[in-house]
Amino acid sequence: MNERASRASDGARRVPVPILMYHQITPSPAPQFRKYAVTTEAFDRQLEWLAAHGYAPVSMEMLYRHRSGVDGLPPRPVILTFDDGYRDCLEHAAPILAARKFRATFYVLGRLAGKTSRWLIEERGLEIPLLDWDAVRALQAAGHECGSHGMSHPHLTRLDPAACRDELLSSRHILEDQLGREIRHLAYPFGDYDERVRAIAAESGYRTACSVRLGWSAPDDDLLALHRIHVHGEGSLRDFADNFRRRRTPRELWRAATRALRRRLGPRG
Ligand SMILES: [Zn+2]
DSSP string, 217-232: B-TT--TTSEEEEE--
DSSP 8-class letter at 77: E
Predicted structure pTM score: 0.88
Residues 234-263 as b or e (16 or more Cβ within 10 Å = b) = bbeeebbebbbeeebeeeebeebbeebeee
Find the 109 Cα to ligand 1 centroid distance in Å. Answer: 9
Residues 6+ apart with CB under 8 A from 130: 84, 85, 86, 87, 108, 109, 112, 113, 114, 115, 116, 117
The DSSP element (H or E) to which 119 belongs, if any, is helix 119-124
Angle between helices 133-141 and 171-179 (to 10 degrees): 70
Find the 166 Cα to ligand 1 centroid distance in Å. Answer: 17
Residue 247 is predicted with a pLDDT of 56
Residue 38 is predicted with a pLDDT of 98
Taking 70 as the pLDDT cut, the residues of the chain under it are 1-12, 246-249, 251-252, 267-269
Find the 152 Cα to ligand 1 centroid distance in Å. Answer: 9
Closest by CA position to 254, among listed 206, 262, 30 = 262
Report the sign of the C-alpha dihedral through residues 244, 245, 247, 250, in that order. negative
Residue 263 is predicted with a pLDDT of 78
Find the 42 Cα to ligand 1 centroid distance in Å. Answer: 21
Gap between the Cα atoms of 152 and 146, Å rounded: 16
Query: pLDDT, tens digit, for every residue of 27-36?
Result: 999 999 999 9
* The CA-based dihedral angle spanning residues 48, 217, 157, 116, taken in that order and rounded to the nearest 10 degrees: 10
Find the 58 Cα to ligand 1 centroid distance in Å. Answer: 21
Find the 82 Cα to ligand 1 centroid distance in Å. Answer: 9
